[in-house]
Amino acid sequence: MRIGVGAIGVAVMVAATAACEGGAGVGEDQVVGQLGQPEAVYPEPFAVVSTVREFDDGRVLVADPLGQVVVRLDMDAGTADTIGKVGEGPDEYRQPDAVWPLPGGRTLLVDLGNGRLTVLGPDLEFGETRPYAIRDPDQGSLLMVLPQGVDDRGRLYFPDIMAMGGGADSMPIVRLDLETGMADSLGLVKGPETSRRTTGGPDSQREEVSAIPLSPADAWGVSRDGRVVIARSGDYHLDWIADDGTATSGPPVPYEPVAIGPGEKVEWRDGRSEIGGGFGIEATDINGVMTIRATRGGASDDDDLDRYQWPDVMPAFYGRPIPVDGLGRAWVRRHREAGEAPVYDVFGGSGERETTVELGMGRRVVGFGDRKLYAVRMDEYGLQILERYALP
């Protein structure tokens, strides 16, 4: 059987949103801060950026899966060093999708195209590799180790997206210790609503599972101390799950759902380019031999929007990963009416919303450093410019 998992991607990168209380604006009782002007801008554009990894000297590592490049940037000097090259060898990669900090100054590179995770040393030399498709040591089921977060101990956190391919409406959050190989589950998150299509004959079936655009989905992220934050799509509140599994829930955040009109549909279509278009995982089982292929890209700008199922209104927030800053605050991106500037609700460890921050048009948060915020800005050609700001 072949299973294609459409937009139910790494970190479940499917968008879903709504505006704050009072239509497309922010509630009157909520402070709205401005991100301000960037401290530094790297002038050369990327095709897509999802993560940045800041080093102690202030330089940052960036992986671009569509540009097929990994670079170390000095944003103050405007210079860059290319790390490795495209290929399948020991010092190479295909579709380098994300970079995450590991203990001891090391870095984890998610090599999407080669189906592996690669550890880079403190000097960015290529080291140990392992497949990102593994068998659960307890259940024996297939796990796709595509991290959505990494803590200071080097443990990887990822969604069990293969559960969605099997028909479940929710996914476990899995935590994997790379050193011991032990994996455990930290609870369930609701995935987007999906549609299914089966093709092929009895000996070679292909089942495509695609997310319904702008359908409600939980979002989650990981703090450096290993706490997991989950934004619940039912009533828009936050749960913080501690390392020992205890949960702290914040109060519901009121909001007025925004109706989905032609402008919202077009903005959803155009917004897919922020994360490189579509994301697909294909698992093929031939005579008991399982192979996995994951790819990013493939969404078309002239996509026929009428072929999709659409909800009547947008939920309160994007279903993409929640970035957590160095102060332990969760940044939840809200949906707004088409044409409105992006805003993020910022939550403390109690689950209370502390403030709301508005970014400039075409911008989104891609990571944090030492009192720094990294964002990308989409230019007129759909390319992404990396910017660094002081952390609000």
Which of 108-122, 158-172, 296-310 reaches the highest mean pLDDT?
Answer: 108-122
Q: Check residue 232 and give its pLDDT.
A: 98
Digit-coded pLDDT (tens) for 164-215:
555 568 899 999 998 888 899 998 999 888 877 776 666 666 666 778 999 9
What confidence category does residue 22 fall into, taking pLDDT thresholds of 50, 70 and 90?
A: very low
Least confident of 16-20, 301-305, 310-314, 382-386: 16-20
What is the Cα–Cα distance from 314 to 337, expressed in whole angstroms? Answer: 9
Beta strands 204-211; 2-5: pairing state: parallel
Mean pLDDT, residues 14-36 taken together: 50
Residues of the chain by 3-state class (helix, strand, coil), percent to 5: 5, 45, 50
Other Cβ atoms less than 10 A from the Cβ of 152: the count is: 12
Nearest to 318 by CA among 234, 215, 225: 215
Instruction: Find where tokens 């391919």 sit.
Output: 165
Averaged pLDDT of the chain:
86
What confidence category does residue 49 fall into, taking pLDDT thresholds of 50, 70 and 90?
A: very high
What confidence category does residue 303 fall into, taking pLDDT thresholds of 50, 70 and 90?
A: confident
Q: Is the pLDDT of residue 78 over 60?
A: yes
Domains and CATH numbers, the chain: 2-390 (2.120.10.30)
Angle at 368 between CA 364 and CA 374, to 5 degrees: 40
Residue 184 tokens, joined: 């455990």
What is the Cα–Cα distance from 221 to 148, expressed in whole angstroms? Answer: 7
Sign of the Cα torsion 324, 327, 328, 334 reads negative
What is the Cα–Cα distance from 247 to 191, expressed in whole angstroms? Answer: 20
Residue 359 pairs in a beta bridge with: none
Q: If you write DSSP's letter for every residue of 12-38 in order, what string do you get?
A: ---------SSTTS--TTS-EEE--S-
